[in-house]
Amino acid sequence: MVYPHSLAFLCFSSLLLTLLFSSEVSSSSKGATKIGQGYRLVSIEETPDGALVGLLQLNQKTKIYGPDIPLLRFYAKHETENRLRVHITDANKQRWEVPYNLIPREQPPPLPQTLGKFQKNPIEVSEYSGSELLFSYISNPFSFSVKRKSNGETLFNSTSTSSDPFSSLVFKDQYLEISTKLPKDASLYGLGENTQPHGIKLYPSDPYTLYTTDISAINLNADLYGSHPMYMDLRNNGGKASAHAVLLLNSNGMDVFYKGTSLTYKVIGGVFDFYFFSGPTPLNVVDQYTTLIGRPAAMPYWAFGFHQCRWGYHNLSVVEDVVDSYKKAQIPLDVIWNDDDHMDGHKDFTLNPKNYPRPKLLNFLNKIHSIGMKYIVIIDPGIGVNSSYGVYQRGLANDVFIKYEGEPFLAQVWPGAVNFPDFLNPKTVNWWVDEIRRFHELVPVDGLWIDMNEASNFCSGKCKIPKNTICPNGTGPGWICCLDCKNITKTRWDDPPYKINASGIQAPIGYKTIATSATHYNGVLEYDAHSIYGFSQSVATHKGLLGLEGKRPFILSRSTYVGSGKYAAHWTGDNQGTWENLRYSISTMLNFGIFGVPMVGSDICGFYPQPTEELCNRWIEVGAFYPFSRDHANYYSPRQELYQWDSVAQSARNALGIRYKILPYLYTLNYEAHVSGSPIARPLFFTFPSYTKCYDVSTQFLLGSSLMISPVLEQGKTQVKALFPPGSWYSLLDWTHTITSTGGTYVTLDAPLHVVNVHLYQNTILPMQQGGLISKDARKTPFTLIVTFPAGASEGDAKGTLFIDDDELPEIKLGNGYSSFIDLYASVKQGGVKVWSEVQEGKFALDKGLIIDSISVLGLDGNVGAVASLELDGKPLIGMSSLNVTTSEHVHLEGEGNGESKTVMVTLRGLSIPVGKNFAMTWKMG
Residue 426 sits in a domain whose CATH number is 3.20.20.80
744 and 824 both lie in a single domain: yes
- Tell me the torsion sign for CA atoms 383, 389, 393, 394: negative
164 and 279 in a single domain? The answer is yes
* Residue 190 belongs to a domain: yes
Please state, as a whole number, how many other Cβ atoms lie within 10 Å of the Cβ of residue 718. 10
Q: How many helices (DSSP H) and strands (DSSP E) are in the chain?
A: 14, 54
Distance CA 776, CA 369 (A): 11
- Domain of 859, CATH number, reads 2.60.40.1180
Alpha helices (runs of H) in 595-731, residue ranges in sequence order: 613-623, 646-661, 663-676
- Domain end call among 292, 319, 352: 292
Q: Which of 656, 723, 716, 668 is nearest to 694 (CA)?
A: 723
Query: Distance between CA 925 and CA 428 in Å, rounded?
Result: 68
pLDDT score of 27: 39
Residues 6+ apart with CB under 8 A from 327: 333, 773
- pLDDT at position 121, please? 52
pLDDT at 1: 63
Please check whether residue 738 lies inside any domain of the structure.
yes
* CA distances to 137, 411, 644, 775 from 306, in Å: 52, 35, 16, 9
Does 902 map to a domain? yes
CB under 8 A, 24+ apart: contacts of 280-284: 280/148, 280/150, 280/241, 280/242, 280/243, 280/244, 281/241, 281/243, 281/689, 282/232, 282/234, 282/243, 282/594, 282/682, 282/683, 282/685, 282/686, 282/689, 283/676, 283/678, 283/686, 284/82, 284/243
Question: Which amino acid, residue 865?
Answer: G
Same domain, 263 and 368: no
Which of the residues are catalytic?
451, 454, 574
Among the candidates 240, 266, 292, a domain finishes at 292
CATH number, domain with residue 133? 2.60.40.1760
Same domain, 806 and 919: yes
Q: Which residues are bridge partners to 822 per DSSP? A: 802, 839
CA distance 598 to 693: 24
| Tally of domains within the chain | 3
User: Which residues in the chain come in under a pLDDT of 50?
Assistant: 3-31, 897-898
| DSSP 8-state symbol, 732 | S
Interatomic CA distance for residues 425 and 657, integer angstroms: 46
Entry field: residues in the chain: 926
User: What is the chain's Cα-based Rg?
Assistant: 29
In a domain, 476, yes or no: no
State how far the Cα of 599 lies from the Cα of 18, in Å rounded to an integer: 38
CA 854 to chain centre: 35
Query: Do residue 279 and residue 318 come from a single domain?
Result: no
Amino acid at 494: D
Is residue 317 domain-resident?
yes
One domain, residues 697 and 725: yes
Indicate whether 896 and 783 sit together in one domain.
Answer: yes
Question: Do residue 287 and residue 363 come from a single domain?
Answer: no
Domain shared by 112 and 243, yes or no = yes
Give the pLDDT of residue 489: 83
> Could you list the residue range(s) of the whole structural domain that residue 848 is in?
683-925
Is 151 a domain residue? yes
Q: Is residue 510 included in any domain, yes or no?
A: no
- Picking from 244, 275, 292, the residue at the C-terminal end of a domain is 292
Same domain, 285 and 309: no
Within a domain: 563: yes
720 shares its domain with 827: yes
545 and 571 housed in the same domain = yes
Cα 844 from Cα 451, distance rounded (Å)? 37
Write down the pLDDT at residue 549: 84
CA 778, CA 133: separation in Å to the nearest integer? 47
